[in-house]
Structure 1
């Protein structure tokens, strides 16, 4: 499961690389007008840490996100995408980007979540799923399903995609990894009854 999270992170790096080429001009202007730190949001040691400074944002990902990956590979993958990365003594890695890049990243992740949830309903890949709704910060999703069709299918795997996407959004937005959670509720279309619930990241720990 953690390797899946790493793959998702690499996809995010691709977006960051695209942003960096468009922000060079604005970044130089920012550097001329500001020099000091403005604010900081961080978690306990070993988790994801997001430091928001006046000029840049640093995202530190824990070692658990990179199981099976050597430091050389992690750094090389990031540098291929033009991203500044530092390996830390505790096995975590810190990625540095401008504030504008971070904002674009969060906006892009939000747009991609909007798009992917809509496609889950409309694509026909998950025929038992009739609707998906979610809150603003992607910490809670509700999948409305045809109960009988859902229970006799593999459509439950859709909740994994929602959970992983919600987790990545929360973590990159500065959520405390010791306290955050993503709740996926399954609601029967006919009765309105909640017939199942999955909470991430607890669900990932249960299968390790």
Structure 2
């Protein structure tokens, strides 16, 4: 599946996400060694695909013997052109596109097309990583960025002496990338969570860490 539809989904999601910005936690609790990560789109898909119940408020993917059905919630489609999304989806192997009454969109595709979608998402993630590493004006301390095969953990190695300012806010970008990938890969809604670690490139010490579930909980508490 071509990367344009993936780029569109990620772009819309990132736009929505910054309405609920938060910052990762400093001096994380002593944690186990981060998962072994992969920074390429050639990573082998995680073993044992899981079924998902999901609802219209979250991304969900339901798999059966012949096809995969994916629902993108309205909250991740704000500002997008439904007609453009439908056209791109159908051009890239999606058999059915349904605009639901609640604003969400359900796409039904073959398992092969679904696999290509996940691969394309990893390619898009890799491209985003390369762009961030090249942006020395806004991310001067970033040395390398890797992620786990299931896209649930991102490890960002930084120069501890220059790390600071607003660089930690980039964790939100990776929260979204990870959560979208996991949801489309049929991870149950209650298990979806992406962790981002900022690590001293010289010592391996975790300088700052955070996860998407905690950020969402904090945002919910502050809204009450």
Q: Is the structural similarity TM-score above 0.5?
A: yes
User: How far is the alpha carbon of 1:90 from its aligned partner?
Assistant: 4.9
CA-atom RMSD, angstroms?
3.0
**Is 1:40–1:51's contact at 8 Å kept on the other side of the alignment?**
no
Q: Quick one: structure 1 residues 148 and 8, their matched pair in 2 at CA, closer, same or farther if it must change by over 3 Å?
A: farther
Structure 2 residue aligned with 1:61: 72
**Correspondence for 1:79 among 86, 90, 109:** 86
Structure 1 residue aligned with 2:112: 100
Point out the structure with max Rg over C-alpha.
1
Task: Structure 1: give runs of 5+ residues left out of the alignment.
Answer: 1-5, 13-38
Whole-angstrom distance in 1 between the partners of 2:172 and 2:216: 9
**Correspondence for 2:189 among 177, 200, 204:** 177
Structure 2 residue aligned with 1:42: 52
After superposition, residues 93-132 of structure 1 pair within 5 angstroms as 93-125=105-137, 126-132=139-145
User: How far is the alpha carbon of 1:160 from its aligned partner?
Assistant: 2.3
User: How far is the alpha carbon of 1:108 from its aligned partner?
Assistant: 1.2
Structure 2 residue aligned with 1:189: 201
Bigger RCO (CA 8 Å, 6+ sep): 2
The count of aligned residue pairs is: 172
Q: Quick one: structure 1 residues 61 and 186, their matched pair in 2 at CA, closer, same or farther if it must change by over 3 Å?
A: same
Moved over 6 A (4+): none
Whole-angstrom distance in 2 between the partners of 1:116 and 1:10: 10
Which structure features the higher share of helix residues?
1
Structure 2 residue aligned with 1:31: none
Task: Structure 2: give runs of 5+ residues left out of the alignment.
Answer: 1-5, 13-48, 91-95
Q: TM-score, normalised by structure 1?
A: 0.68
Q: Quick one: structure 1 residues 43 and 8, their matched pair in 2 at CA, closer, same or farther if it must change by over 3 Å?
A: farther
User: How far is the alpha carbon of 1:206 from its aligned partner?
Assistant: 3.5
Whole-angstrom distance in 1 between the partners of 2:128 and 2:103: 32
Whole-angstrom distance in 2 between the partners of 1:205 and 1:67: 22
Q: TM-score, normalised by structure 2?
A: 0.64
Q: Quick one: structure 1 residues 101 and 44, their matched pair in 2 at CA, closer, same or farther if it must change by over 3 Å?
A: closer
Whole-angstrom distance in 1 between the partners of 2:172 and 2:110: 31
Whole-angstrom distance in 1 between the partners of 2:69 and 2:84: 17
DSSP-derived class of the 1:121 partner: helix
Structure 2 residue aligned with 1:52: 63
Q: Quick one: structure 1 residues 106 and 44, their matched pair in 2 at CA, closer, same or farther if it must change by over 3 Å?
A: closer
**Is 2:52–2:189's contact at 8 Å kept on the other side of the alignment?**
no
